[in-house]
Amino acid sequence: MLTLPTHRTVSGIRTLSVGEGPPVAFERGDGLTSVRDKFNDNFGYLDDFVDEMQADVEDISAAVFGMSVIEGLTPTIGAGLTIDHAEGTALVGFVLTLDAGSITVLPNCNPGYVYLKQDGTWEVNDTGVAPAMTAFEFCRFVSDAGAVTSISEGSRDPAYILPARLRKVAGTQAATVEIDTPTVVTITHAYSLQVPGFKFVESSDPLVTVEPTNSDQDTPTSFQVLCTYVGDYYIEGGEGYEFYDVGGGTYSGMTIAIDIAYLRTGLGYEP
């Protein structure tokens, strides 16, 4: 009977090189035991790859949807250096369901930190440094040599999770555009899009084109546009003084002021 090895969680994605083993090659004359072992070796190798891809999907989910308690898991002071928690569910890349239990903490902390990790286990420290594994701050505590004296719920924020929804951010931003060279303008907005999507921009002046640019510089709260003056013009009084648009407009200096209307979509949390 063929069996798969016990499921293992592996972080990161490992590439397969030609000639690397396993997969294990089958050879003429293999006995039953050898064939079974080689099947299990190959199944185990596939299992590793599935684990690696699953870990990546879970990390992306944590970034998009946030991490926190969904329901229950209320922490209370336990006996000695322990914190008890009720049963409940949390989102850490996927939904974890935990039974009621106790967490052993450290003495003489002010504060100490308790993290719930993606594998459903707890990590406690007095530094506030998050674990290497994807995790969120479950609660903070104060303790003396032999007992927990107080608990606060740290950064738990159920409104932060489930679900991230399609959001639209719209507004208008003033900009000053150079006449004789394209100008890059950074559009900023207060609302944060965890996964930015499409961008639509429009200039208030028909003689200035505006288009998104430098998408590698996008952030959850900003993006860049390239503004280009496309009208015909001539300069009077020398560069740096005054120019005239052939269509009849007169501007001072070598710049033009415009308003940029923008609409940006993406996935974000409730404001």
pLDDT (tens digit per residue) in 11-47: 444 444 444 455 555 555 555 456 667 677 777 777 7
Query: Which range marks the domain in which residue 17 is found?
Result: 1-64
Q: 77 with 55, same domain?
A: no
Same domain, 211 and 137: no
Domain final residue pick, 15, 46, 64: 64
Same domain? 202 vs 136: no
My answer on whether 133 and 202 are in the same domain is: no
Residue 182's pLDDT is 92
* 101-104 and 82-85 beta bridge pairing: antiparallel
Interatomic CA distance for residues 259 and 249, integer angstroms: 17
Higher pLDDT, 228 or 94: 228
Choice between 92 and 142, residue whose per-residue pLDDT is larger: 142
Q: Are residues 84 and 22 in the same domain?
A: no
The last residue of one of the domains, among 140, 160, 180, is 160
On whether the CB atoms of residues 242 and 252 are closer than 8 A, the answer is: yes
Q: How many domains does the chain have?
A: 3
Q: Kindly state the tokens that stand for 98.
A: 């935990």
H/E segment holding residue 210: strand 208-213
Same domain, yes or no: 130 and 141: yes
Q: Which of 8-12, 87-91, 202-206, 227-231 has the lowest mean pLDDT?
A: 8-12
Question: For residue 264, what pLDDT is reported?
Answer: 93
Domain boundary among 131, 160, 189: 160
Q: 151-196 pLDDT, tens per residue?
A: 987 655 544 454 567 788 999 999 999 887 899 999 999 888 877 8
Q: In terms of domains, do 195 and 231 share one?
A: yes
End-to-end CA distance of the chain: 55
The share of the chain scoring above pLDDT 90, in percent, equals 33
For residue 268, with 0-12 CB atoms within 10 Å meaning exposed, 13-18 middle and 19 or more buried, which class applies?
Answer: buried
The CA-based dihedral angle spanning residues 189, 191, 197, 200, taken in that order and rounded to the nearest 10 degrees: -40
| 151 and 179 both lie in a single domain | no
Q: Strands across the sheet with 222-229, in order?
A: 183-188, 222-229, 208-213
Q: What is the pLDDT of residue 176?
A: 92
Whether residue 83 sits in one domain with residue 22? no
Q: Are residues 222 and 136 in the same domain?
A: no
In this predicted structure, the answer to whether residue 4 has a pLDDT above a threshold of 50 is no
Q: Are residues 73 and 54 in the same domain?
A: no
pLDDT for residue 252 is more than 70: no
Amino acid making up residue 248: G
Least confident window among 45-54, 109-118, 131-140: 45-54
**pLDDT over 70 percentage in the chain:** 68
* 171 and 155 inside one domain: no
Q: What is the pLDDT of residues 55-87, one digit of tens each?
A: 666 666 665 566 778 778 889 999 999 999 999
The confidence score (pLDDT) of residue 266 equals: 84
Query: How far lies 160's CA from each of 65, 133, 209, 271, in Å?
Result: 8, 20, 38, 9
pLDDT (0 to 100) of residue 66: 65
Q: What is the pLDDT of residue 262?
A: 96
CA distances from 92 to 70, 241, 254 (A): 10, 60, 54
User: Is the pTM higher than 0.95?
Assistant: no
Whichever domain contains 235, its CATH number is 2.60.40
Render 118-183 in DSSP notation, one character per residue. Answer: TTS-EEEESS-PPPSSSEEEEEEEEE-SS-EEEEE-TT--GGGSS--EEEEEEEEEEEEEESSS-E
Residue 270 CA, chain-centre distance (Å), reads: 16
Contacts of 198 (CB under 8 A, 6+ apart): 264, 265
Q: What is the CATH number of the domain that holds 76?
A: 2.80.20.10
Q: Give the integer Cα–Cα distance in Å for 209 and 18.
A: 51
Amino acid at 267: L
Q: Which residue has the tokens 């930015």?
A: 196
